[in-house]
Amino acid sequence: FAAIPKDYPIPGETTVYDTTQTIDLDAVPLNGGFIIKTLVLSVDPYMRGRMRDPEIKSYSTPFKVGAPTTGYGIGVVVRSEHPDVAVGKYVYGGELPHQEYTVLSSAEGLVFLEKDPELPWTVYVGAAGMPGKTAFMGWKELAHAKKGETAFVTTGAGPVGSMVIQLAKRDGLRVIASAGSEEKVKYMKEIGADVVFNYKTTDTAEVLAREGPIDVYWDNVGGDILDAALEHSALYARFVICGMISGYNTGHTGIKNMHQTFSRSLSINGFIVSRLEPKYDTEFYATIPRALASGEIKYREDVSNGLETVGDAILRVQQGKNTGKAVVVVAEE
Ligand code: NDP
């Protein structure tokens, strides 16, 4: 991480691929710890929020200028002196540094994973990882969905939104979904959304006026689209505030329709997935990887290869150029 971005995070300026530091894997002292070889890294929208002035407080810790960016990822243990961490084990962590190898002293915060033989590791940072958990856990905790109701899902072609669409359909809801390209619109239809549109070429408020009112609003974007959802909400609608990407790079816009919260008796709840994991992790791993492997729940990935592509992948996610879960494959096993 080279510099705090002014707006979009530009590879070569904000992030740089640094090849100057090397370690001798066999000689590096472990002092009771272990070495992980990075296999797969996840690239997610929240990373932009970590590229901030450290004085600004938020739920996530800021990246440190001069140190590697970090994030969700999967690695395999290649050397170990740790009594509980055997060589060959696969680990999933939320704070894996974006580098080829990492020496760790403790296994705290790591999950040891057993892979479904039909799924690649990349899925375990996507539909069977943090974004999948975000959809599954947020939906279970906050949607209070009833059969026959109408849901509106934003960024519906992305890893979180596409899972939410499918969970809503499984619960018998009618789903309206939006995304930012014709190709993404087509994909949302393929995974079962009933009404789909491109929010860049179609006015969201017009669609919601025609197809609403909405009982559940899944917000990944904030801004004007949240405002339109407030305007076209049903009585007692539930708003699940998952993210507000429209403001991450350019600042947040004002909301005009907040008065609907009391006029329509709305419930508006935000959440952070890590705080729901203790409650739902067991159920998630027991059901979702199998549903993905069998094809009952569909997912798609935007895979790039090599650590040097991370900076570009971070930018592409902020620009909406990723089609599916953005993942970087750093090494084969
Ligand atoms: P995606 O891979 O779907 O990437 C984000 C998408 O947002 C882009 O592809 C783009 O798609 C869309 N987007 C970008 N700018 C705008 C804009 N100005 N207005 C509307 N849409 C825009 O991301 P994820 O599925 O991983 O994440 C979706 C949301 O969930 C994010 O807001 C993220 O921060 C949030 N999140 C929250 C978590 C929590 O614990 N609360 C955990 C994980 C994610 P398009 O082409 O459609 O514009």
Per-residue pLDDT of the chain (333 residues; tens, 9 = 90+): 999 999 999 999 999 999 998 889 999 999 999 999 999 999 999 999 999 999 999 889 999 999 999 999 999 999 999 999 999 999 999 999 999 999 999 999 899 998 889 999 999 999 999 999 999 999 999 999 999 999 999 999 999 999 999 999 999 999 999 999 999 999 999 999 999 999 999 999 999 999 999 999 999 999 999 999 999 999 999 999 999 988 888 877 788 999 999 999 999 999 999 999 999 999 999 999 999 999 999 999 999 999 999 999 999 999 989 989 999 999 998
pLDDT in tens, 281-332: 999 999 999 999 999 999 999 999 999 999 999 999 999 899 899 999 999 9
- Calculate what percentage of the chain has a pLDDT beyond 70: 100
Asked if residues 58 and 52 have their Cβ atoms less than 8 Å apart, the reply is yes
- Distance between CA 87 and CA 81 in Å, rounded? 9
Nearest atom, ligand 1, residue 200 CA:
48
Phi/psi-derived region of residue 109, left when phi > 0, alpha when psi is between -120 and 50, beta in every other case: left
49 close to 60: Cβ distance less than 8 angstroms: yes
List pLDDT tens digits, range 80-104: 999 999 999 999 999 999 999 999 9
Q: Is 155 in the pocket of ligand 1 (CB under 6 A)?
A: yes
| Count, residues in the chain | 333
2 by Cβ neighbours in 10 Å (0-12 / 13-18 / 19+) ranks as: middle
Give the separation between CA 193 and CA 247, rounded to whole angstroms: 26
Strands 101-104 and 150-153, sheet pairing: unpaired
Pairing of β 195-198 and β 267-270: unpaired
Does the Cβ of 317 fall within 6 Å of ligand 1?
Answer: yes
- Three-class SS of residue 285? helix
Which of 155, 186, 202, 304 best tests ligand 1's pocket when mutated (most atoms within 8 Å of CB)?
A: 155
Helix (H) or strand (E) segment spanning residue 126: none
Q: Is 184 in the pocket of ligand 1 (CB under 6 A)?
A: yes
Q: Which of 187, 217, 220, 227 to mutate to test the pocket of ligand 1 (most atoms within 8 A of CB)?
A: 220
